Amino acid sequence: MSDFNNGFWNVWVIVLTIGSIIFCVLLLWSQSRARNAKGEVTGHVWDEDLQEYNNPLPNWWRWLFYLTIVFSFGYLALYPGLGTYAGSKGWTSTGQYELERDAAEAQFKAAYGELLTQNIELVATNDKAREAGERLFLNYCAQCHGSDAKGAKGFPNLTDADWLWGGEPAQIKETLTNGRMAVMPPFAHLGPQKIKDVAYYVRSLSGLVNPHAPEADRGKAVYNSAGCAACHGAEGKGNLGLAPNLTDKVWLYGSRDATLIETISKGRTNSMPAFGEFLGEDKVHLLTAYVYGLSLGNRAEAGK
């Protein structure tokens, strides 16, 4: 790509741009010279008597075209368009973006400045903050978590009380700011039968199948010997920031037997992108409060 930054391409763009404008001028000039062709026919006939005439362009059209050419020279003098020449006004798309961004940030702080200094628990109960947080969520988060924040396969539900990395304000803000990376290693080396048994045992932990079946006993032995308990705990209740709880009815990828066998065999990798640098601390603060508020009702139910 560095070849496109040398002097040749700069000259090439200038020549191509100026040449195109000159071509348009010559085309118009040739049309003005052909005015004596008025009334002549080209010889093309359709539907027996429909003929094509060789009439010149209307004067209003030609002069309008001339005006656009004059405008183009003025535009190229003021704004970038001739290779690396930046134009006399020094305009750039980056500068325009930064100008609009700074204006939007100033407007944002004027509208929500008082909320940015309050703790997240308090902000989460503010209607004005909730409306702003919802707009941020719909713009940047709904693509994965859904517009209702209830998630989808591979993307967690943000309205329940189940949190892998923690659902407290500081933990949510950390997740939004720096992102998260979760990895479930593959255990294909266990072989098909042991994988089926441990999948059965995992399903039994949440009451999906009979916990007293022989498959559950065999699966439990594999669960302990293969190292599953090191992450998910001896009882399968998970560890914050490390592995999910296997005893509840919350499943990120689904609870079907075939799905669990696939997870154990091939593993899973999932990531949450970091938004701290992109959104800035102020917007992250409002978005954190919104996400925190989504599950307040379910937190209360879970705590009973």
pLDDT < 70: residue spans in the chain: 1-6, 33-39, 297-304
Report if pTM > 0.85: no
What is the rounded distance in angstroms from the CA atom of residue 224 to the CA atom of residue 26? 85
Q: What DSSP state is assigned to residue 56?
A: P
pLDDT at 134: 96
Q: What DSSP state is assigned to residue 57?
A: P
Give 9's Cβ-side CA count (13 Å radius): 7
pLDDT at 115: 85
What is the rounded distance in angstroms from the CA atom of residue 211 to the CA atom of residue 4? 66
Token reading at 80:
């970038």
pLDDT in tens, 142-169: 999 999 999 999 999 999 989 999 999 9
pLDDT at 62: 86
pLDDT in tens, 94-105: 899 999 989 988
Ordered domains of the chain (ranges, CATH): 2-78 (no CATH), 106-179+273-302 (1.10.760.10), 183-272 (1.10.760.10)
Helices (H) and strands (E) in the chain, counts: 14, 4
3-state SS, residue 42:
strand
pLDDT at 1: 43
Residues paired with residue 50 on neighbouring β-strands, in sequence order: 46
What is the rounded distance in angstroms from the CA atom of residue 246 to the CA atom of residue 231? 11
Q: Name, in order, each residue with C-beta under 8 angstroms of 287's C-beta and a sequence gap of 6 or more.
A: 133, 136, 137, 140, 141, 176, 275, 279
Q: For residue 65, give the nearest of 39, 14, 28, 112 by alpha carbon.
A: 28
The H-or-E segment that residue 10 falls in is helix 7-33
CB atoms within 10 A of CB 250: 18
SS (H, E, C) 79-113: CCCECCECCCCCCCHHHHHHHHHHHHHHHHHHHHH
